[in-house]
Amino acid sequence: MAEAVGTALAVVGVLGQLFDGCVRAYSLFTAAANLDTDSQRLLCKVRIEEMRLVVWGRDWGVAEGRLEAHLESTRNPQLRSLALQILEELHSAVTDFKKLKNRYGLVDEGRASLEVTGSKPRKSPSPSRKRSKDDESRDLNGASRLLESAQRDVTQLTLLEIASDGVYPKLTTSANLKKLRINLDAKPQASFKPTFALKVPRATLDLSGDGGDGGRSTGRHESAGDVVIEWVDYDRDDVDERVAHVRRLDDLARMMHSASDCHPDLHSIDCVGYVDDTSRCRYGLVYKAPSPSFSTLHELIASSDLKTPNLDDRVRLAHTLAVALWSLHSLDWLHKSLCSSNILFFPSAFSASAHSSTAAGALVPDIQCPYLTGFDASRPDLDTALSVAPRNPSILTLHRHPASLRGFPHCKPMDIYSLGLVLLEIGLWKVLQTYHKPHYSTGRWRDKVLRAALVPGLGSKVGSRYRDVVDKCLAVSEEMTSAEAGKVIEDVVTALEAIRT
């Protein structure tokens, strides 16, 4: 896909040529096949970065010369120089990595492949190229160091972050978040100790609406202003549970502290920190609210006072949420509570609609800017030690994957399944409670009601492409690998982006 983007356009200007070179270099890098598990994980992350670069270039019109023309019009040569520096650094990093892969035998002459079985030496890609066992061993050691360096080294990310901070925020593609995840991955979470830098004293919070909406409160922080707090109950006497909660919340608070600036695709609210409300045995994630009031997607859909939004707005909302989940998964985090009650709109659609200029407009909610919340159970994908069942879950049983209800450890496909249910509600503009009966088993609910009855009805309301996307989400299996789940969410994002209403 990226190669087509790089070659189909008439490249204009130096920036356009550098951008095109980066895309082509990424295409060569990601052409590798038959990789081992570790390399496939690395390749998946690189492909995500590749697509982010392509999306950024398309938005700014880099290849067509629009970005270069804009920079020249500002009459500030330092901005253009900075853009050149960033793209040159990116191009150098990708192409140098490719050369190193060839040097250490990670790419065959005929096709890119990596074949390492146990501790056996790698076979020479060509019978005419005979090498000693010592040479083979050195190559394997070099390959291991190369992959480790590619996954752990944060020097390039830091340079890009510093160079583009405040000028090209989209180009950083969450350098801060990636750097944090790399640093956290470098040590087992079992040895992770919270810094408490983002621990919010309870005395600094003035709560107004306290826990009236599924464990969610509003209030004010003495310096951050309006805030939303999402609560996680704990057992005062269960020390292990409390330690796991603190480790997870501290990690999450740091990752989400400035996520809206570093990576707007997450569509999350900046996290001020976390608070321990000891009097009520609960921890709270404190978010800086864009305004004092909000509405949940569930409330908007369920309201009989609001009209159904236009189809193009609903498709755009579905695409935004799919991108948000894809971005979260790219950081190797699971949401675990994705549902319409955990998607917020600021200010409240009910109060905002009252100020509409027309009576008709006052009945249609504004769904253009969703915020993904509900991280009460969220954790790193591979760290099951931090998996603690919330005592006050923000997600209902009917929104969860059947395997999750059977006790299967949460995984990325389960988040995708929950996304499919949200997309189903958006398409029908009906909440799932409208169709769910208490006596339904989890299997019947998914197979006989959702996929057999509700999904087919989407075709006449939102079109066959949208219907197929929802069915693809609901068809995921808990047995899928992380890479397979990544391919599914990528296909979902691509399909929604291609819908023209």
pTM above 0.85?
Answer: no
Three-class DSSP labels, 2-26: HHHHHHHCCCCHHHHHHHHHHHHHH
Beta strands 333-334 and 295-296 are unpaired
pLDDT of residue 499: 93
Place of tokens 């901070």: 165
pLDDT of residue 30: 62
Please, which contacts does 54-60 make with residues 24 or more away whose CB atoms are closer than 8 Å? 54/1, 54/2, 54/5, 54/23, 56/170, 56/171, 56/173, 57/5, 57/19, 57/23, 58/5, 59/170, 60/170
Q: CA angle at residue 251 from 338 to 371, to 5 degrees?
A: 35
- Distant-in-sequence, close-in-space partners of 218: CB < 8 Å, separation ≥ 6: 207, 208, 209, 226, 227, 228, 229, 289, 292, 293, 294
Give the alpha-carbon dihedral of 288, 332, 489, 167, to 10 degrees: 50
Count Cβ atoms below 10 Å from residue 194 Cβ, excluding itself: 17
Question: What percent of the chain clears pLDDT 90, i.e. is strictly above it?
Answer: 40
Exposure class string for 298-325: b at 16+ Cβ within 10 A, else e:
bbbbbeeebebbebebbbbbbbbbbbbb
**Residue 183 banded pLDDT, cuts 50, 70, 90:** very low
Which CATH code for domain 202-287? 3.30.200.20
> Residue 205 pairs with which residues in a beta bridge?
221
CA distance 178 to 192: 18
pLDDT digits (tens, 9 = 90+) for 85-108: 888 877 777 776 554 454 434 444
Average pLDDT over residues 443-465: 95
pLDDT of residue 194: 56
| Tokens found for residue 320 | 């935004």
pLDDT of residue 447: 94
Question: What stretch of H or E contains 329?
Answer: helix 311-330
pLDDT of residue 153: 42
Please tell me if the domain spanning 202-287 has the same topology as the one spanning 295-498: no
Residue 174 has pLDDT above 90, yes or no: no
Exposure class string for 420-455: b at 16+ Cβ within 10 A, else e:
bbbbbbbbbbebbeebbeeeeebeebbeebbbeebb
Q: CA angle at residue 279 from 277 to 283, to 5 degrees?
A: 25
Average pLDDT over residues 364-370: 92
CA distance 307 to 353: 11
Domain ranges for the chain, please list them. 2-173, 202-287, 295-498
**CATH-assigned architecture of domain 295-498:** Orthogonal Bundle (1.10)
User: Coil, helix or strand for 368?
Assistant: coil
**Residue 1 banded pLDDT, cuts 50, 70, 90:** very low
| Tokens found for residue 403 | 């395997």
pLDDT digits (tens, 9 = 90+) for 271-281: 999 999 999 99
